[in-house]
Structure 1
Amino acid sequence: MMDIQPVSETALIIQLGDHIDTRLAVKTGSLADHIRNSCSSELIEVIPSYTTIYIQYHPLKTDFIALKSRLQGLVDAFFLSDDKNDRARKVSKIITLPVYYSLETGPDLPEVAQFHNRTVADVIQIHSQSTYVVCAIGFSPGFAFLGSVDSAIATPRKSEPRKMLPAGSVGIADQQTAVYPSDSPGGWQIIGNCPVSLIDFDKAPMSPFSVGLSVQFQPISRDEFFALGGTLWSHWKSWTRG
């Protein structure tokens, strides 16, 4: 399935599928890179997501009809290239993030474990042994939606979001997981904390994530957490309600 439709006078969207699939996310990220490289002079922004690529273009350099025709050719050629681009991207681009899984940093570990009739140790092991794919970036700068969480620990988000979460909070929401890159409200089930900074507005790119990249979580000890600059929030209950 592939469709290209206008969304404004200077923007269009490429629809590549109708359901979330991590394999498609890898292809979407690679295709977005290919489009940027092939049409750089005509484009302002290329934003890949779960099953789509949003493109904003220069109205004085091209128009929807001309760009659509060019993009159709690029997309067709890309998917006929025997998947070499996305295979290479997936193998060579793996981000490993340290995580301190604990009740100090993951107040929802017991809730996730109880939801699945498992132990906290089970939750940590299952979450850290998976490899995830960046399916989209949004909600806040540098926030990467990662899929897919093993069904053995996939847990619905909280019925009432917390008013604030500390930067580095690692959460689960259904079949997605993510790291909050900055202090933020949030309703995900928090199971640990990553002490590594994931957003820097003075750098380009400001985040290590892009759609299609792979992410792994590496459990670390309490001492390692502090050595990497981690800090503890001791008043989790106070962040639930105002």
Structure 2
Amino acid sequence: MSDAQIRVSEAPVIRLETVGMDALMVRLFDAIDEAHMPWILAADRALREGFGEDLVDLVPSYTTLLVNYDVERLDQREASACIRDALIGLRPASTAAGREHRIPVWYDESVGPELPRIAERLGVSCEEIIRRHSERDYCAFALGFTPGYAFMGMIEEALATPRLKTPRQKVAAGSVGIAERQTAIYSMRSPGGWNLLGRTAVKLFDRERDDISLFRPGDRIRFEPITRDVFIEQGGDTTPLEERG
């Protein structure tokens, strides 16, 4: 999707919510929409610059930004004023602000057991599900759950599938899944209840890289189907999900 095709929503009504002795939530929107991301990214940059060394952590998400500030430097009134000052005259970030990634994925029932189930539900082939999942760019809305794990969206509405009623105890690193209208890659082996379609050999979190997390909020990701042989050449683990210990 080109920059010109990326929608930008109208200016948000900014609200502050207290979530802790050292934290305030900046709410910009109420609904998830990719068109909000230029505003979220602009607010992230403005708040980092506005707080400077008084900022402990800043976590952007779908519709909000969580601001953790240094209580030894600021009280809540001062932190609130800092937020308001930083966001005066906020303008959306450039739609080209995020980086682009191409992630090779081996789509296969052995590593993506929900692939045939979703195909059967829609009355189409697995190849059609793969095509639909891989034909569009996804926006990384937020990082969380495990290091490097990015919540992405929005997938085609027809592919939206609820999370599993009973989460799996172990999901392999690199597993690509969907839940409702979101998609994601498991950055490491962990429990999880997303519907799995395939697996990638790309490392999302690597302490040896300058950017230890491959993705950042606002990045754009597209999945590229590859064969089993290519997946193996890239260092992928073909062990079927049910056989992993």
TM-score normalised by the chain length of structure 2: 0.88
Q: Is the 8 A contact 1:99 1:194 kept in 2?
A: yes
The answer to which of 132-141 and 31-40 deviates more is 31-40
Inter-partner Cα distance in structure 1 for 2:38 and 2:121: 31
Aligned residue number for residue 88 of structure 1: 96
Q: Is the 8 A contact 1:170 1:190 kept in 2?
A: yes
Structure 1 residue 180 corresponds to structure 2 residue 186: yes
Aligned AA for 1:118?
V
Aligned AA for 1:36?
R
Say which of 42, 54, 57 aligns to 2:54: 42
Aligned residue number for residue 162 of structure 2: 156
Say which of 65, 68, 71 aligns to 1:56: 68
Q: Classify the secondary structure of the residue corresponding to 1:88.
A: coil
Q: Is the 8 A contact 2:138 2:220 kept in 1?
A: yes
The answer to which of 27-36 and 13-22 deviates more is 27-36
Aligned residue number for residue 216 of structure 2: 210
Aligned residues: 233
TM-superposition CA deviations, 1:69-118 (whole Å, max 9, x none): 23213223223xxx3x242314xx11211111122322211011112222
Aligned AA for 2:219?
L
Say which of 159, 183, 191 aligns to 2:197: 191
Q: Is the 8 A contact 1:30 1:89 kept in 2?
A: no
TM-superposition CA deviations, 1:132-173 (whole Å, max 9, x none): 111121111111110101012111122222121111000011
Q: Is the 8 A contact 1:96 1:217 kept in 2?
A: yes
Aligned residue number for residue 29 of structure 1: 41
Structure 1 residue 69 corresponds to structure 2 residue 69: no
Say which of 11, 18, 23 aligns to 1:11: 23
Give, in angstroms, the shift of residue 203 of structure 1: 4.3
Q: Which runs of 4+ in 1 moved over 4 A?
A: none
Q: Is the 8 A contact 2:115 2:129 kept in 1?
A: yes
Q: Classify the secondary structure of the residue corresponding to 2:47.
A: helix
Cα distance change on mapping 1:213 and 1:30 into 2, 3 Å: farther
Structure 1 residue 121 corresponds to structure 2 residue 121: no
Structure 1 residue 105 corresponds to structure 2 residue 114: no
Aligned residue number for residue 142 of structure 2: 136
C-alpha RMSD of matched pairs (Å): 1.9
Give, in angstroms, the shift of residue 237 of structure 1: 3.7
- Structure 1: gaps spanning 5 or more residues: none
Inter-partner Cα distance in structure 2 for 1:35 and 1:100: 40
Inter-partner Cα distance in structure 2 for 1:66 and 1:134: 31
Q: Is the 8 A contact 1:30 1:212 kept in 2?
A: no
